Amino acid sequence: MIFRKAEGPVNGRPRNRHRLDRSTPAWLRRLIKIGLALSVILVTVPLFPLQRHADPPHYQVGQVIEEEILAPISFDILRGEEDIDRDRLDAVRSVAPIFTVDDSRSEATLRRLARFGLDVRRVAASPQLRRNERVETIGQLGVPLTPGTRRALSDPDTAGVIVEEVIRLMTQAYQVGLVDQSDIALYDSRLKVKLRRSGEETVNPSFQLFDRRRIQEVANERAVQIFPAGGEAIQAMVEVAGRFAEPNLIYERSETARLEADARNAVPTIAGRVERGERIIDSHTKVTPDEYEKLRSLEAATNRLSHAPGSTGWFLPLVGRALLVFMLVVIFAGFIKLHRPRLYDDLTTLTFLTSLSILVLLVAAMVIRFAPEASPYLIPVGLASILITLLLDDQLAGAASVAISILIGIVGGLGLPFVIVSIVGSLAASYAVTGIRHRWEFYRAMISMSLAYAVTILAVELITSSSPFQVAMKDSLWGVINAVAATTAAIVLLPVFERGFGLCTDITLIELADLNRPIFKRMMLEANGTYHHTMVIGSLSEAAATAVGANPLLARVGAYYHDIGKVPKAEYFGENLKPGMKNPHEKLTPTMSCLILESHVREGQEMAREMKLPKRVADFIPEHQGTTLMSYFFHKALEMDPGVEERDYRYPGPKPQSKETAIVMLADSVEATARSLADPSPSRIKAVVKRIIDQRASDGQLDECNLSLQELARARDAFVPVLVGLFHGRIQYQWQKTPDGGLPATESGGRPGRGGPSSGRVDRDSLETESR
């Protein structure tokens, strides 16, 4: 807000007092509007993916195709992923793992086994050692053995047989190949292995290889044959063989992995080729698995072309997307300018609409980009409809919902069903929340919105789905979840947007209309006349607003707050002067009186800021006076100085910008004038109301509020019954009558039928600001 600097003084007061200039420079306003439009375009264009990735969305195996499908381009027929994975697994398994034979390991192990055999036989054949000493000595030969094995080896004959059989078994295993225990799973899954020895490679069946487990199995079989009586000799032979089963095959991991990769890559992914113009499927036939693969391959080929390096496939969709968003933004802006010109000039409101649209677009993009399998009916277009209806109006909400639904449906690739469902659901949401004044009514809106989504989705899915009932019921459930989530989010976000953008709902207006608020208690104590004046203005304004189709609740609440600036200097305003009090303006110059009267607007605005009143309510404080002339003090000043200028005795404005503020201006004027009538009969009240309205219209005070002549007539007709009821006469009681048929002056109410012609009070007309 900008204050214009005061110019030279006239009669001791500023020629042009600091006047509130609410307008931003035209070029800056235009620049801001362009910036808001560009923000929607720049956010929407890159936000949504260029293509929704999915298997053929329009065709399924067994589906009947109504029209013939010809190949628009030449493309390769891609094999199914399952077939490719299966063949790749078989190709990997066909690769023979490569092992290098390390003869040095086998020779070292055999030598160690031979030394162990000599030592065991020497100890077992020693005549100097008793049996238990032989058992203990064998345990000290460096090979960990169980007690049973040591006892079996303490017998010379048994020890010799066991050692010879183990040496023979290990020699055989090393000739074939002995693998490490960790490589068992590898060669068990392969039919063949490749052995590399001294530069030569041989391919052997994998089942011929030995490992520790097989060594022990063979040792057990031979031990059973050699020692049919069983006993500890069998276990001794198995344990000794296992202790010396050291592998001599080294797995060549990296080389084998390379061969496996080559085999995997060699698996063909193409099953054939379709040339341009070739028939893919005939009309009125069912889609076979082979034809399905052709359709899927066609979609993949189209995607590759659109994302190919150097291709314009990605650029042209972006251009088209930008043009679409631009056209929708321009059309929506044109709708606002044509039907809501005041909102079009309100940058705060435009910023709110832009922010809310971007919020819904962000949620839609997240659903499409990060959860492509989720139902598109989870996108909360209804959230925007609810918030715009509550904070602005339902027609604007409907236009915004249509624009957002079309934008998301086309740019996001969701199709016509989504657009239809979103528009119907959003319009139902707007209708359901219209006129909400209590928070519990949101549950009613939630139910209505859920039913609208469910029924619309059911209808659309039954028409388009190949499996109607299952798909329709599932998507209808998602629609209900959307309705519940959108309503809940609206309840949470509503205070945020109200406070952030200075907007208000009927719920907030009802809270502001609570007469127990501190400002009203203070007004009732310090400015009792102003308090009752505002109550009357509230009734008048509500009746007139209802008659002209404006917001009656906003008009009434605005009337309650329009004169709060009078409280600090209540005694300077006529309605607060009691009988017998002197008019304080009699001692003041017209200039000072004018400043005091004007100050109630500035002080009221300051009090509104302190109370954090919504902008729509705070606007009543300056706009209810508009730029009206303080005629009493202007004519008084003219008597003192004929050169005084009229503009210095006008309120700074602005003029009423809405129907509601204009109605409060008229109600304020007609109430003050009607109250000063000596004989407030219905005919006189009606004449006064007509004269005041005509004066305000001829003075140009109603030029910016969009009230038509027909609506002014309706407002006039609504004022009269309220004023007649306010000032109606009463039947006199017998004890009130004087012998001459009048009322005692001390009991007079100043109204005909109540006594005499005068009320004995200070006439407010001498202190009022309006021209009569």
What's the confidence (pLDDT) of residue 743?
46
pLDDT at 283 over 90: no
What's the confidence (pLDDT) of residue 554?
93
Highest mean pLDDT among 360-364, 570-574, 628-632, 739-743: 360-364
Q: Are 145 and 119 in contact (CB under 8 A)?
A: no
Residue 567 per-residue DSSP state: G
Element (H, E) at 200: strand 200-205
Residues 485-524 have pLDDT tens digits of 999 999 999 889 988 888 888 888 988 999 999 999 999 9
Buried b (16+ CB within 10 A) or exposed e, 228-242: eeeebbbbbbbbbbe
Q: Are 400 and 332 in contact (CB under 8 A)?
A: yes
Alpha helices (H) along 371-393: 381-391
Q: Does domain 2-50+317-323+344-499 have CATH number 1.10.20?
A: no
pLDDT at 677 over 90: no
What's the confidence (pLDDT) of residue 659?
92
Residues 101-155 have pLDDT tens digits of 888 888 898 898 899 889 888 888 888 888 888 888 888 888 888 888 888 888 8
CA 536 to chain centre: 44
Q: Are 291 and 280 in contact (CB under 8 A)?
A: yes
Highest mean pLDDT among 11-15, 56-60, 268-272, 516-520: 516-520
What's the confidence (pLDDT) of residue 754?
34
What's the confidence (pLDDT) of residue 305?
65
CATH number of 524-730: 1.10.3210
Lowest mean pLDDT among 136-145, 604-613, 666-675, 733-742: 733-742
What's the confidence (pLDDT) of residue 732?
61
Residue 55, C-beta contacts closer than 8 angstroms, at least 6 positions apart: 296, 299
Question: How far apart, in whole angstroms, are the C-alpha atoms of residue 356 and residue 348?
Answer: 12
Residues 30-39 have pLDDT tens digits of 899 999 999 9
Question: How far apart, in whole angstroms, are the C-alpha atoms of residue 159 and residue 146?
Answer: 15
Question: How far apart, in whole angstroms, are the C-alpha atoms of residue 438 and residue 553?
Answer: 13
What's the confidence (pLDDT) of residue 665?
94
What's the confidence (pLDDT) of residue 653?
83
What's the confidence (pLDDT) of residue 734?
64
The residue assigned the tokens 């509550």 is 390
Question: How far apart, in whole angstroms, are the C-alpha atoms of residue 457 and residue 476?
Answer: 6
261-270: long-range contacts (C-beta < 8 A, 24 or more apart)? 263/88, 263/91, 263/92, 263/94, 263/95, 264/88, 264/91, 264/92, 266/91, 267/84, 267/87, 267/88, 267/91, 268/79, 269/78, 269/79, 269/84, 270/76, 270/77, 270/78, 270/79
pLDDT at 9 over 50: no
Tell me if residue 330 falls in helix, strand or coil: helix
Element (H, E) at 335: helix 315-339
Residues 596-642 have pLDDT tens digits of 888 899 999 999 999 989 988 999 999 999 999 888 888 888 888 88
- Burial of residue 75 (number of CB atoms within 10 Å: 0-12, 13-18, 19+): buried
Backbone angles phi, psi at 370, to 5 degrees: -100, -15
**Sign (positive/negative) of CA torsion 419, 425, 428, 432?**
negative
- Taking the CA atoms of residue 36, residue 38, residue 42 and residue 48 in that order, the dihedral angle to the nearest 10 degrees is 80
Q: Residue 741, CB half-sphere, CA atoms under 13 Å: how many?
A: 1
pLDDT at 643 over 60: yes
What's the confidence (pLDDT) of residue 759?
36
Angle formed at CA 613 by CA 609 and CA 618, multiple of 5 degrees = 85
Residues 199-257 have pLDDT tens digits of 788 888 888 888 888 888 898 988 888 888 778 888 888 888 888 888 888 888 888 88
Tell me if residue 196 falls in helix, strand or coil: strand
- Give the residue range(s) of CATH 1.10.1760 domains in the chain: 2-50+317-323+344-499
pLDDT at 61 over 70: yes
**What is the mean predicted confidence (pLDDT) over 668-696?**
87
Residues 390-435 have pLDDT tens digits of 998 889 999 999 999 999 988 888 888 899 999 999 999 999 888 8
DSSP 271-328: EEEE-TT-EEE-TTEEPPHHHHHHHHHHHHHHHHHHTSTT-STTHHHHHHHHHHHHHH
Q: 14 vs 455, which has greater pLDDT?
A: 455
Q: Are 105 and 249 in contact (CB under 8 A)?
A: no
Nearest to 387 by CA among 369, 406, 404, 375: 404
Residue 732 per-residue DSSP state: P
Which residues lie across from 691 on neighbouring strands? Answer: none
What's the confidence (pLDDT) of residue 23?
54
pLDDT at 28 over 50: yes
What's the confidence (pLDDT) of residue 523?
92
- Give the residue range(s) of CATH 1.10.3210 domains in the chain: 524-730
Question: How far apart, in whole angstroms, are the C-alpha atoms of residue 765 and residue 600?
Answer: 17
Question: How far apart, in whole angstroms, are the C-alpha atoms of residue 579 and residue 551?
Answer: 37
Percent of the chain scoring above 90 in pLDDT: 26
